[in-house]
Amino acid sequence: MKADDINKILILDQGDPVAGQLLTKAAAVFGEKTEYVVLKAHKTHNIALRMMEQTVREENPELVLIGATALGEEIAPALGVRLRTGVAAHCVDIRVNDEGRLTFLIPAFGGRVIGEIFIPDAKAGQPAIATVKPGIFQQRISLYDGFCRTDIGPAPSVRIIDADALAADGSIPEGSKTQGAFRLAEITPRQRAASDIACAELILCGGYGLGNEETWHKLEALADKLNGAAACTRAALDAGWGCTEDTMIGTSGRAVSPEVYVGFGISGAAHHTCGIAGAGRIISINTDKDAEAFAASDYKGVFDAEQVIDALLDQIK
């Protein structure tokens, strides 16, 4: 499908910042000639899926963008089968290539490889579908719902369809507490809020090279004193030092875009570095002068992570 063929884009708003990020990105790529429709749907599976399907059939968009949240990762592929169309998963970029074709860039092998994906037969009513992890497209920018930032150009005109309102007037059948034929029996909060690192302007991230639990706790203390957030890699999480999955950055964790990111003892497997691509400045400290992380950094230091953490703690006293 040519990018010029895209007249209407439908974005699923799940009630978190990702819809704003998708809208910003879409506006930057497709400009004002394209119509933007945002479907605000409950965070419930059956209604979101049914409303998305219905809205596509009524609005006939050529492109559908969905945040790759736990909910979005289920809605998008299901919608793909229902509409008999393709889904590009976890896009790290959406572009128009030299031939004017709509091109999705998706990571494979945990981000070590990036591949182009085309959905050539997509058309109005049978749209290309793409999911994007929260944070991949600039975290803190939201173009609607009162979060408009003017420094990236005028906001496109957006039409909002409010599925919540539809539900209230009874036009949506029951289903807010179900997923398929299963009913929602219980909701329990997770131990730690996921937004800790998502909104942080400063992230101090620890990898396996921290070496031990004590150093991880030092890093946490340092992050606290600097008003930043402590995060970890998969390797550090697996080491069992007390880091939690909510603070894991990377393909299997979260994508972040703080102003400043400092990585300590991180080898920099692409799994991890693709989760920090949106960061302002990236600093990496690692004893291995060939660490892959350095290739994704603005500043590097070949030092022992603990020594630098100790020096930082010392200097901010």
Applying the rule CB under 8 A, the residues between 256 and 295 that interact with another protein are: 259-260, 262, 269-270, 273-274, 277, 280-285, 288-290, 294-295
Contacting another protein (CB under 8 A), which of 77, 148, 166, 244?
A: 77
- Of the pair 59, 304, the CB lying nearest another protein is at 304
Count the neighbouring beta carbons within 10 Å of the beta carbon of residue 296: 21
According to CB under 8 A, which residues from 189 to 228 bind another protein? Answer: 189-190, 193-194, 201-202, 226-228
Q: Which one of residues 5, 29, 50, 82 is an interface residue with another protein (CB under 8 A)?
A: 82
75-78 contact pairs (CB < 8 A, 24+): 75/12, 75/45, 75/48, 75/49, 76/129, 76/130, 76/131, 78/49
- Residue 35 beta carbon to another protein: minimum distance, rounded to whole angstroms: 23
Contact status: 19 vs another protein (CB under 8 A): no
86 vs 156 by CB, closer to another protein: 86
**Distance from C-alpha of 120 to C-alpha of 16, rounded to nearest angstrom:** 30
Q: Token pair for residue 145?
A: 């719902």
What spatial distance separates the first Cα and last Cα of the chain, rounded to whole Å?
58
Binder of another protein out of 50, 95, 112, 140 (CB under 8 A) = 112
Supply the minimum distance, in Å, between the C-beta of residue 141 and another protein: 17
Instruction: Provide, rounded to whole angstroms, the least separation between the CB of residue 88 and another protein.
Output: 6
Segment near another protein (CB under 8 A); pick from 77-85, 156-164, 165-173, 206-214: 77-85
What is d(CA 198, CA 109) in angstroms, rounded to the nearest whole number? 24
Distances (CA, A) of 241 to 34, 214, 229, 236, 244: 49, 8, 16, 7, 9
